[in-house]
Amino acid sequence: MFKSKIIVVKIGGSTLGQHDTTIEDLVTLQQKRVPVVVVHGGGNAVTDWLTRLNIPTRFVQGLRVTDSDTLRVVTAVLAGLINKELVSEIGKRGGKAVGISGVDGLVVTGKNKNRELGLTAEELTCNPRLLRVLLNNGYMPVIASICLNEELTGREEINLLNVNGDTIAAQIAASLKASKLIFLTDVPGIYDNSKQVISRIDTGTARTMIESGTAAGGMIAKLEASLIASQKVALTRIIDGRVDHALLDEIEGKGKGTTIVN
Ligand SMILES: Nc1ncnc2c1ncn2[C@@H]1O[C@H](COP(=O)(O)OP(=O)(O)OP(=O)(O)O)[C@@H](O)[C@H]1O
Ligand SMILES: [Mg+2]
């Protein structure tokens, strides 16, 4: 059935570049009538703009510490610049995409649990209604990783929260009961301690890899995301977005990388 065919693709900020074939692949998939939802980060571009604006930036366990000025820049860069660039690239290649963020249609609402991280959402609620409207009408939703702040305490000057792209992708995939969650990133898959790519792990091993420190930095968020998704999504894949047509190969069953199963 249509519902179970949905694929959620998280594009890592680090893999987006001039020679990236991901956009081409997304358009090809849309033409093949594969329902795809895209979620994007944009870590490097955000850091670049924060530097240009002289706003210091800091990460704790791969997650950006976000104050209200940082959040303004994150919103402008992710939901503005990067989101619109992606949508226009898809459009130029004949695809039909609609660029939104988690706030639009109230698709994603978040709670700021970890004050150490500032205005960052950890616990998310997802309502995929708008995504279904778009998919059912032949549009590919392209989602920037910002959400609405559920707690309006009056403390914040801005009612948004920054969300890690992996976390929001997993929550969206789970709410859509997607058939697959694919992370396109800048490594060939998950490395073990000898830097060999592991082809398949289960969620138990994913937990161990976080605890043991085998997975660090941005990989922690991906593994935690796979744990969130695993309740509703059969398969999470981590593949190398730098490889030409990695996404198309993946859909055609020729993908390399790491598979995470329940
Ligand atoms: N065990 C591991 N295996 C593979 N990569 C790992 C591991 N531990 C840590 N990493 C790091 O995780 C990084 C991938 O996560 P990162 O957050 O940097 O990229 P992304 O999520 O694709 O992009 P973005 O955060 O901009 O959306 C790799 O570049 C690597 O440095
Ligand atoms: Mg990341």
* Token representation of residue 164: 């890690």
Residue 170 to residue 59: CA distance in whole angstroms = 21
Note the pLDDT of residue 2. Answer: 37
Atom of ligand 1 nearest to the CA of 192: 1
Give the range of the structural domain holding residue 127, as residue numbers without chain letter. 3-261
- Respond yes or no: is residue 240 known to be catalytic: no
Helix, strand counts (H, E) of the chain: 9, 16
**Using CA positions, which residue lies closest to atom 13 of ligand 1?**
218
DSSP characters over 235-246: EEEEEETTSTTH
DSSP characters over 123-137: EEEE--HHHHHHHHT
pLDDT tens track, the chain, 262 positions:
334 599 999 998 666 765 789 999 999 999 999 999 999 988 688 889 999 999 988 887 766 788 889 999 999 999 999 999 999 999 999 999 999 999 999 999 999 887 888 998 989 999 999 999 999 999 999 999 999 999 866 655 689 999 999 999 999 999 999 999 999 999 999 999 999 999 999 999 999 999 999 999 889 999 999 999 998 998 999 999 999 999 999 999 998 999 999 8
- Respond yes or no: is residue 180 known to be catalytic: no
Distances from the Cα of 105 to the Cα of 99, 100, 133, 228, angstroms: 12, 9, 11, 22
Residue 163 to residue 109: CA distance in whole angstroms = 10
Best residue for ligand 1 mutational test, from 48, 187, 243 (most atoms within 8 Å of Cβ): 187
Please, are residues 21 and 194 in contact by the beta-carbon 8 Å criterion?
A: no
pLDDT in tens, 24-40: 999 999 999 999 999 99
Domain count, the chain: 1
Which residues on adjacent β-strands are paired with residue 98? 141
pLDDT in tens, 99-114: 999 999 999 999 988 7
* Token representation of residue 177: 């009961």
**Using CA positions, which residue lies closest to atom 16 of ligand 1?**
218
Residues with C-beta less than 6 Å from any ligand 1 atom: 12-14, 41, 43, 62, 165-166, 185-187, 190-191, 214-219
Give me the CATH number covering residue 169.
3.40.1160.10
Note the pLDDT of residue 156. Answer: 54
How far out from the chain centre does Cα 139 lie?
Answer: 18
Note the pLDDT of residue 17. Answer: 64
* Token representation of residue 242: 């730098």
Q: What angle do CA 39, 44, 46 make, to 5 degrees?
A: 80
